[in-house]
Chain A
């Protein structure tokens, strides 16, 4: 009886430990940088897109390690993810999952909202076009004396 209980505890501990160090992560944002090092301003070595999944370890200090580099934990989930086509990634169990995009409040709901509510969506569209590239932000930081010794190398 005691042996069985001990086995159960060890098995649960093994599950917990492994879950912390190995996972399939799925990107939840349109795009996010895969960085050379687990640092805010480390150079981007690739871009991970919405719905892409990676085998990863971590997170450690807020970063998952994947083959190509490091992805910040805020841009991904280690939960099972339902894709818009109805398929899933990140797991085979059948309990619930994270919805990637498309479900709930979406462009359809926004269109319906716009019909009855006057609001300046044109200004929001213009605002969204203003984003600058990762390299332009790094150049801005560098020219302002804001990049540390390790930054962007």
Chain B
């Protein structure tokens, strides 16, 4: 087997300094490691979970499910299979063109029956849009931008980042180094408390307080980019925000108007809105939008 002659501890230290990785070299002897060993050593992550970034894909999914269940106990899901399926295809299209095309069990969308102008994204890829918001949308390209904004919240893990760090520290401490699938009743009780607190943190951010302005501007910017990647017109983000601005002036309140920065400011923060070289207007796109949004 091919080997590399190395002064392992020193090299490991150098790597740790560069990439924040923790290496365990106890199994290596004689200052020689095989290609396989050296490949493995460079892949080992830090031993301790610290933050929202360390929540696994499957854990994110379960948090997202509970957040979604909370949202749909506050808002009534719209029973319109055609519209829900249409929105689902758009969400999958823009998520495929995002920098996070796959979540643990994929992206899903549900239209909510509410006059409130609002849209939410729960961790793991659960997306919601109200009929009140849909009434402000004029084209599939605008709807794609709205939904891509929500996909960006998922891709950038904005929801997970609203979970208080102290909760995660508690959860990670409870889990420790245990690999067992079944927890003791005491561990389960502790984990359920932390889980409930984490879900409440995210729901409060989505429904009551909103994300920080920076996260909203980031979602606008990346949402427009994902829409562009899917060959939708990214400028449709601007035209929708302009309509939000008009609705705000006309006195529409609550929902997104309460939890998001002013549309004027959001428009000023949008980056390049030039469409892709493959962008083209389409009559069939216009037709299917009109057909799907009659409800």
Chain A residues engaging chain B, CB cutoff 8 angstroms: 4, 7-9, 11-12, 14-16, 18-19, 22-24, 28-33, 40-41, 62, 72, 74-75, 78-80, 82, 84, 86, 90-110, 112-113, 116-121, 123-124, 126-128, 130-132, 136-137, 140-141, 143-149, 151
Q: Is the CB of A103 within 8 A of B57?
A: no
Taking A75-B102, A103-B175, A108-B182 as given, write out 6 further A-B residue pairs in contact, using a Cβ cutoff of 8 Å, ordered by the A residue number. A9-B14, A86-B179, A90-B40, A91-B41, A92-B37, A101-B57
* Interface membership of B220, Cβ < 8 A: no
Q: A80-B45, A105-B59, A140-B89 are in contact. Are A15 and B229 (CB under 8 A)?
A: no
Q: Is the CB of A96 within 8 A of B282?
A: no
Interface hits, B175-196 → A, CB 8 Å = 175, 177-179, 181-183, 188-189, 191-192, 195-196
Residues on the B chain within 8 Å of A126, using CB: 77
Interface hits, B55-90 → A, CB 8 Å = 55-59, 62-63, 65-66, 68-70, 72-73, 77, 84-85, 88-89
Q: Is the CB of B65 within 8 A of A121?
A: yes
**Contacting B110 at CB < 8 Å: which of A7, A99, A112, A123?**
A123
Q: Is the CB of A15 within 8 A of B38?
A: yes
Residues on the B chain within 8 Å of A8, using CB: 7, 10-11, 14
* Stretch from B19-27, B129-137, B204-212 forming part of the interface with A: B19-27
Q: Is the CB of A93 within 8 A of B44?
A: yes
**Contacting B96 at CB < 8 Å: which of A40, A99, A127?**
A40
Residue of B nearest to A133 (CB): B92
Q: Is the CB of A74 within 8 A of B179?
A: no
Residue of B nearest to A13 (CB): B14
Q: Is the CB of B37 within 8 A of A113?
A: no
* Interface membership of B267, Cβ < 8 A: no
Residues on the B chain within 8 Å of A98, using CB: 45, 56
Chain B residues engaging chain A, CB cutoff 8 angstroms: 4-7, 10-11, 14-15, 18, 22-27, 36-48, 55-59, 62-63, 65-66, 68-70, 72-73, 77, 84-85, 88-89, 92-93, 96-97, 99-110, 126, 140, 155, 171, 175, 177-179, 181-183, 188-189, 191-192, 195-196, 198-199, 229-232, 276-278, 280-282, 284-285, 288
User: How far is it, in angstroms, between the C-alpha of A49 and the C-alpha of B52 when the chains are bound?
Assistant: 24
Residues on the A chain within 8 Å of B107, using CB: 131
Q: List 29 A-B contacts (CB under 8 A).
A: A8-B7, A18-B38, A23-B39, A29-B103, A29-B104, A33-B101, A33-B102, A78-B43, A79-B44, A79-B45, A91-B41, A93-B41, A94-B26, A95-B46, A96-B48, A96-B177, A98-B56, A105-B55, A113-B199, A120-B69, A123-B72, A123-B77, A127-B108, A127-B126, A130-B84, A131-B107, A145-B282, A146-B230, A147-B278
